[in-house]
Structures are given as C-alpha cells and as structure tokens.
Amino acid sequence: MARVTIVGGGYGGIAVAKALDEVAEVTLIEQKDRFVNHAAALRATVDPEWAEKIFIPYDNLLKNGRVIHGTVLKTNGTSVSVSGMDEEIEADHLVLATGTAYPFPAKHLESSAAIAKARIERAYNNLKQSGRVLIVGGGAVGIELAGEITSYFPEIEITLLESGPDILTSGDYKPELRESIRKQLQERGVKIMVGDSLSYLPPVDVGVLSPFRVMTQGGTQIKADMWFRAYGSSAATGYLGRDYAEVRHYDGTIRVDDHLRVLDHPCVWAIGDITDVRESKRADAARAHAEVVAANIAAMIRGEEPNAIYAPGKEWVVLPLGPNGGASQILKDGVRVVVGPEETVRLKGEDLFVDYARTHLGVED
C-alpha cells in the first residue's frame, strides 16, 4: 500500500487524512495532543464551558491509519524527522498542512490541551477583574474578540486600535459589512480608533491583568488593564529546509501549482493556510484543498494522472459578535450579499463549528 504522511492535524490535515484512510497507509503527525477548533477559541476565553468544547481528541479520526503526536523538525524529500523519534518516517507522498501561528487567544502554541486550558482560564479570570481592555488589530479576529468580550462582560470598556484606514481592510469586503460591524460595536460602547498605531508595545504580556498606559503614534494616550494582540499571523513552515528556499515566500507561505503540489518537489503537496493560493485563509478553504489533494494522491495510487484542480471562489466571511450579534458577507446564487446578526448567528455564532469538528473527528455526544 502507498504510504502518505500528513504533517499538521488542523482543519485541512484531518480532512485529507480521513479521505485517504481506506486507500493508503496514512500517518498524521500533529504536535498538539488534541484537535483545536480555533473558530471557537475566542469564545473559550470569555466562557469556561467553551474552553472545554474546543479541544477534541484524535482517537477516533482514523480507522486504519495512525496519529503520531510530535513536532516535525525537518523534511527530506517525502521523509520527515519527528521530535522524540530516532528514525525518519518515510512515505511515498508528503502533505504539508501546518497552518499559521497566531497570538493567543486566537491560537495556542502549547501542545498540551491541559496547559492551553490553564492559560485560557487565567485570561478569563483576568477579564473578570478588568475594567478596560485594549485590542490591537481591527481585522476579523480583533472584531470577533471585541464582540465576545462585550457579550459576556458588557461592563468592560474596549478600545479597538487599527493602523489601517478602516476596520476589516484585508479582504475584498463590501462597505455595508464594515458599517454593520462598526455600528454594532459602537452600540456596545467599543471605542474604535483607526489610522493610528502604538508607539511601543504595552509592557505586559497579552491576556495578563496589569494596568498600563501606552501612547499611539498619533499622540493619544490609552489606559487599559489588559491587552490582546489581534494581528501578526505567520505560516508555520520553519521546519522546511534550504531546498524550499525557492518556493517559500517571505511570509512563510509555499508556492503550489493548480493541483496544490509544491513547486519543484515531486510528491509533496501543501494545503490550507500555508499555501500561497490567493484567497483569505479559511478553514473551509483548507478542507476544499484537502479534497483536491486527496483526489490527486488517490489517482496517482491508481496509476492515473492527478487531474484535480483547485480554483479559489469569491470571498466570504462570517463575523459573529458573540452569540447574538455580528454580520457576514456570504454568497447567494453566486452574488455577494451582506447579512446581519440573525443569519450570522445561524451560520456560525451559535455553534462555532463545534458540531462539525466533533462529527469529523468521530466524537459522539
């Protein structure tokens, strides 16, 4: 049987592993001991019940293949070296699915769910005692975080600081989306400052309760008890050696062809946030990449040409502001439309994809 190694068990990695489980000898290597449903990570910071729900075991993901918990330190063709293992793991196909790193609380660096939960709990207890919170970054994560905090701690005063000319400038979004989000946040008392940035970082770590004051480049003083950094994602591809220098961009993303094969690296594929596909980084895109790569690898195993191609669709985004608010830009009959809180709650705000993740990982209630 053909051997397939997948590095990274996030949204993309688990999808490709499951799709190939019957036709190949699958090895999924993931540094974390639990799958993390990042879509709900911000709510986990404000609601302890959710802090339990976002960590899901990998035990039932594969029927035939294996999941190894370790960090891939190096690749060598389609073989990988894994922390704590003496021998390289060899394979016929290698799928890179290591995603992006993002500051806490959107993502966690900890490989142990128990330690990650302890950090979330500490941030939650700090929020309970906090009167003013600074969020730096007015993109999707900063906005969602402001929405979660105002939903669960309405008495906290939030300042949302964005260096760009407006909130949500990174995607191809309609002005009505920004207007709806801005209006809802302002109704909740969030102070939105755009076109300005910090002169220096606050002297405390994110999520830690310790009152401070900082100056912005524009000369405004901001006082807060806690702050969060909602910017600065980076593709987690540092384990790729010099032979990837030509196909790796400055931001760490990897060049792939239409089949999602890494350029100049036969039988190495990349999916999800680490690819240089021109689209916003989304879990549903990672899953769609996984389908294409699984189809291509399965075709090659059968001795056929890998014909599946990935083409990005129109941009969409779902932005809950806690369990009852938000706005989204979705596609209706191929046309981009902006919808308000009710539809946003239905699409994501209520469940934050927990059911999907649990079902995919074979976890019964």
Ligand X SMILES: Cc1cc2nc3c(=O)[nH]c(=O)nc-3n(C[C@H](O)[C@H](O)[C@H](O)COP(=O)(O)OP(=O)(O)OC[C@H]3O[C@@H](n4cnc5c(N)ncnc54)[C@H](O)[C@@H]3O)c2cc1C
Residues in contact with ligand X by CB under 6 A are 7-13, 29-32, 38-39, 41-42, 71-72, 97-100, 102, 106-107, 141, 236, 239, 272-273, 281-284, 286, 318, 348
Phi-psi group of 155: left, alpha or beta (phi > 0 → left; psi -120 to 50 → alpha; rest → beta)? alpha
In the bound state with ligand X, the residue whose beta carbon lies nearer, of 100 and 151, is: 100
In SS3 terms, 64-88 reads as CCEEEECCEEEEECCEEEECCCCCC
Which 3 state secondary structure label does DSSP give 90?
coil
Q: Check whether the bond before 320 is cis (ω within 30° of 0).
A: no
The least CB distance from residue 309 to ligand X, in Å, is: 19
In the bound state with ligand X, the residue whose beta carbon lies nearer, of 172 and 304, is: 172
In the bound state with ligand X, the residue whose beta carbon lies nearer, of 74 and 223, is: 74
| Cα angle for residues 276, 357, 259 (degrees, 5° grid) | 30
Give CA 215 to chain center in angstroms.
30
In the bound state with ligand X, the residue whose beta carbon lies nearer, of 13 and 65, is: 13
Dist CA 2 CA 20 (whole Å):
10
In the bound state with ligand X, the residue whose beta carbon lies nearer, of 109 and 201, is: 109
The least CB distance from residue 60 to ligand X, in Å, is: 17
User: DSSP per residue over 196-222, as a string?
Assistant: --BSS--SS-TT----EEEEBTTS-EE
Place of tokens 């489980």: 21
The least CB distance from residue 354 to ligand X, in Å, is: 12
Dist CA 268 CA 64 (whole Å):
22
Residues comprising the chain, all counted: 365
In the bound state with ligand X, the residue whose beta carbon lies nearer, of 225 and 273, is: 273
The least CB distance from residue 35 to ligand X, in Å, is: 7
Nearest residue to ligand X, using CB?
Answer: 10
The least CB distance from residue 306 to ligand X, in Å, is: 20
Best CA proximity match to 184, nearest among 206, 164, 158, 161: 158
Which 3 state secondary structure label does DSSP give 157?
strand
Give CA 38 to chain center in angstroms.
6
The least CB distance from residue 200 to ligand X, in Å, is: 25
Residues 6 or more apart in contact with residue 115 via CB below 8 angstroms: none
In the bound state with ligand X, the residue whose beta carbon lies nearer, of 55 and 216, is: 55
The least CB distance from residue 230 to ligand X, in Å, is: 9
Reported as type and span, the H/E element at residue 178 is helix 175-187
Q: What is the CA radius of gyration of the chain?
A: 21
In the bound state with ligand X, the residue whose beta carbon lies nearer, of 32 and 117, is: 32
In the bound state with ligand X, the residue whose beta carbon lies nearer, of 204 and 330, is: 330
The least CB distance from residue 142 to ligand X, in Å, is: 10
In the bound state with ligand X, the residue whose beta carbon lies nearer, of 130 and 344, is: 344
| Cα angle for residues 159, 161, 166 (degrees, 5° grid) | 120
The least CB distance from residue 298 to ligand X, in Å, is: 19
Burial (Cβ within 10 Å: 0-12, 13-18, ≥19) of residue 27: buried
The least CB distance from residue 26 to ligand X, in Å, is: 15
